[in-house]
A and B are shown apart, each in its own frame.
Chain A
Amino acid sequence: MSVQAPPNSVTKSISVDVPAERAFTVFTEQMGSWWPPDHHILDAPLAEMVFEPREGGRIYDRGTDGSECQWSRVLAYEPPTRVVFSWDINLQWKIETDPERTSEIEIRFIPEGESRTRVELEHRNLDRHGDGWEGMREAVASPGGWGRGLAAFAERAAA
């Protein structure tokens, strides 16, 4: 029996050789330039990702057929030091409409000199997604689900 509570978050850190202002802009307004292209839940091919640069803004994907998929809310927007946004995607790989059942990502941009920035990421409150985990088995196997994204990426990574 485990007495240790499982960690409820994922934390990452990476240093980039650019000033904090640029790191912040690329991470937010230019999110579509780096976001892994297989990680979208639109039915249509992705045309663009839109990050509305303000607290209360939306982050959404737009498909080539004009369809939109809003998968996040900007919870804090403090350029060039901090941004927090929600992860409104449930374990069935669908949009979660109940904010109580979503996790969130905080990014901190910490200058390490004039042209270097440490970017710290915390994706937290993962247990809020906990209910309904059983459905993930179906999601993995279903066309267009988790499995497809993983498989597509894995093929790219292995190529």
Chain B
Amino acid sequence: MAYQAEGFSALADPTRRSIFERVAERPAAVGELAAELPVSRPAVSQHLKVLKDAGLVVDHADGTRRIYQLDPDGVDALRGYLDQFWNQALRAFKAAAEQPSEETR
């Protein structure tokens, strides 16, 4: 079966996945994440932007900092997850459907 690399692309990067998992455990600011990981602050910010665009995390201002967390409402993050999931699943479905038919078995 052929699975394409685009699915879950937001989490395909190991560093981004580490950031996501930390944010999922507890809300965190960019600086805290950068301190815990071997990654620069700008790089952490960039990863967080991708996660945010993918609907997996949300942010809010806390003084001069921005705090990132899983969407407490949940629906946005769930939708982000399912959006990626169905992209992947439908591509695999298309590949399976277009394979030569085995109806003659």
Contacts and interface: CB of A to CB of B under 8 A. Distances in A.
Interface in B68-105: 70-79, 81-83, 85-98, 101
Contacts of A7: 79
Contacts of B86: 10, 12, 121, 123
A39 B92 CA distance: 13
Interface of A: 6-10, 12, 14, 16-18, 22-23, 26-27, 30, 33-37, 39, 91, 119, 121, 123, 126-127, 129-130, 133-134, 136-137, 140-141, 146-147, 150-151, 153-154, 156-158
Given A10-B82, A36-B3, A150 B8 contact: yes
Interface stretch (B9-17, B31-39, B40-48): B9-17
B5 interface: yes
Interface of B: 1, 3-9, 11-14, 17, 21, 24-26, 70-79, 81-83, 85-98, 101
Contact residues of B: prevailing secondary structure: helix
A14 B76 contact: no
Contacts of A119: 90, 93
Given A33-B1, A35-B89, A119-B93, A8 B17 contact: no
Contacts of B24: 136-137, 140-141, 147
B89 A126 contact: no
A9 B86 CA distance: 12
B94 A36 contact: no
30 contacts: A6-B79, A8-B75, A9-B79, A10-B79, A12-B90, A14-B90, A14-B91, A14-B93, A16-B97, A26-B96, A27-B97, A30-B96, A33-B96, A34-B96, A36-B85, A121-B86, A126-B75, A126-B82, A130-B75, A133-B77, A136-B77, A137-B24, A140-B24, A141-B21, A141-B25, A146-B81, A147-B21, A150-B11, A157-B4, A158-B5
